[in-house]
Structure 1
């Protein structure tokens, strides 16, 4: 596909590269000027939490941009476009939206009122430093693999669409994100998130009319989608499918429910979320940015949904591909094949901006937890504020390098991130909930909950480590695997174990504390 200007032919891919480079330069400059603007706050708290004075409007922007990453946008279009899944399986938009809203209603104000620096401080305050260090592990690994998975997705997209070298794409993107994050910490991340979210809104928003017009407009696009996708525009399955008698669903409805609950509740115990909550300038602001961020998160899925719908209705035999693309690549190819070159370039640049808005946040979050919850209390308890700040910057660099290396070398980085998301849901969510709301919870209960959750989760098998299912879960399908919602079952069992063991050992803990 080419574009004629003044008798010169400009290839769409070349134009896309120029636009992306332009976006990257603006993001880098924004991060630099943000670090200079806020250079008056030289404390470690300034780097970690923006001095706890983040305005609500910036908080809402950075909260939304962090969740609306490249995986969120590409994954939503993929689910909508995939004939075997459809809109009903596009769970991320409303799942993450509910996660942020519930986080705002039940967790944000409570955690911020304690004056914590990371959400791991909740465990340190309740159970002690050693148990907190154990619970810190899945939180840290989850953030690192999230960064790696996003970088890998960006590299694959750029390599496929722009014809760029995979390694170059990943290295350049990671270097820019790490660079401005080291300069200004959360202030740089927050200000660049504002710019990145604007790029996403403009880049994807203006592409929708062109893509829909290619197949006859919005009304025709909706008709074609309803004809091609089994569940059509069904957003949620009907209550009747839980009987297991619906041939379109069978026991698959329990898998749907398992992942829905994982998104909603498993999306709360992440430092990348609580870093924004704790940086807000008031308890009220912390609640507001969570709820409004959730609403904005759901709204930002609309462009990705329409792009998936347009991809279903398009006759791909007329494209330069000659055949329909894989579901994972539908968004970039809809932009490339169904919109004018400049619009396509802006849209693809927006995808890159979306990736950057998640990578920088995740790297800073992982660095914050390592520095505050491992280095400060266990490795160097007498460290000064200057040493903490230096360690944050060094850790940002190291974690950025690790995430980049994982993105470049591991084929299963997505599978590893999915596993970490499971562990956050199964292990961390019940721990966080009870540490805040169950007064009798103690370190004995916490350890029991960790062990029970891990055994039941891995009892459903884990291909990454070659672990076959060793617990007799029901609803096992020879093709689809275990359809019993064992992740949610493991989470609930972990929660009950914490409560039961804590209740039984409550008096013993009290006696020790009085001695």
Structure 2
């Protein structure tokens, strides 16, 4: 939960840093602070594990026997602390959860409305129309997010699921855009489709997804297939390979006339994506050449005036 609460704020701080050195220093400090902030949850879990719950109003058996280990924090606050501490603690947890929720809703709405709806679907959309798009997106994301919580009672499972999606789908696209010049919209789209299909086919016990595609080492236990291979890393590699293969395929087909140019909705014909690093270097070189040209023109003009 702490990770979900701090992630948007952390990215905001690093992206708004005055220099790359400041952003790096912020990351180093954050790594140390996160390690320190991880001590209280460990202590709460140790206290709950060593507590004789039969001597409390909760009674026996203990939470981990009842399958309520994900509720250790609220149970500890309710049965092992005074009432005012319990109210303050649960209120702090609720505030953190609401902070994460609104940041996630707003970030999802802004990404869809600005990056997808405005730039791809409807570029001439007015500000009033964008306001309604944001409102509808917030409502849809809220309903979908609430529906996902019906499948599990553990927030840790949802956090792991979010990290899984980030690693298998978002991370490959980020790497491809930064380090591959041939990456384009067609490869990115197929990467999402293939990566998501592979990840779902490999199954996920946490959310009840059955195993459809068995990898080497997959075993059958009590009628359920259990994967022993690194399914997340394999899905991530499949996504990267799909992005590169279909990006190259799209470039070849449009540039060699195998597909009509009117089908090129992402405008990749005769273009190669430039990574951000190359773009910065190119802008600096262009700026240097412009300065040299201006300086040369100045001296030439001065010499002409002198001769005149």
CA contact (8 A) 1:426 1:487 kept: yes
Match of 2:124 among 382, 395, 405: 382
User: What is the match of residue 147 of structure 2?
Assistant: 406
Match of 1:308 among 45, 49, 52: 45
Once the two structures are superposed, the pairs formed by residues 11-26 of structure 1 within 5 Å of their partners are none
User: What is the match of residue 34 of structure 2?
Assistant: 297
User: What is the match of residue 347 of structure 1?
Assistant: 89
Query: Taking CA–CA contacts closer than 8 Å with sequence separation of 6 or more, which of the two structures ends up with the larger relative contact order?
Result: 1
Displacement, 1:302?
1.6
Displacement, 1:453?
2.4
User: What is the match of residue 18 of structure 2?
Assistant: 282
User: What is the match of residue 493 of structure 1?
Assistant: 238
Aligned residues: 249
Once the two structures are superposed, the pairs formed by residues 46-61 of structure 1 within 5 Å of their partners are none
TM-score under structure 1 length normalisation: 0.41
CA distance in 2, matches of 1:318, 1:378: 62
User: What is the match of residue 484 of structure 1?
Assistant: 229
CA contact (8 A) 1:67 1:358 kept: no
Q: Is 1:359 paired with 2:101?
A: yes
CA contact (8 A) 1:363 1:399 kept: no
The Cα offsets for residues 88-146 of structure 1, whole Å up to 9 and x where unpaired, read as: xxxxxxxx9xxx7xxxxxxxxxxxxxxxxxxxxxxxxxxxxxxxxxxxxxxxxxxxxxx
TM-score under structure 2 length normalisation: 0.64
CA contact (8 A) 1:311 1:334 kept: yes
Instruction: List gaps (5 residues or longer) in structure 2.
Output: 257-267, 272-308
The change in CA–CA distance for 1:406 and 1:305 in structure 2 (over 3 A counts) is same
Greater radius of gyration (CA): 2
CA distance in 2, matches of 1:413, 1:340: 26
Q: Is 1:335 paired with 2:77?
A: yes
CA contact (8 A) 1:66 1:361 kept: no
Once the two structures are superposed, the pairs formed by residues 207-222 of structure 1 within 5 Å of their partners are none
CA distance in 2, matches of 1:454, 1:317: 46
Match of 1:317 among 30, 48, 54: 54
Match of 1:394 among 126, 135, 140: 135
Displacement, 1:392?
6.5
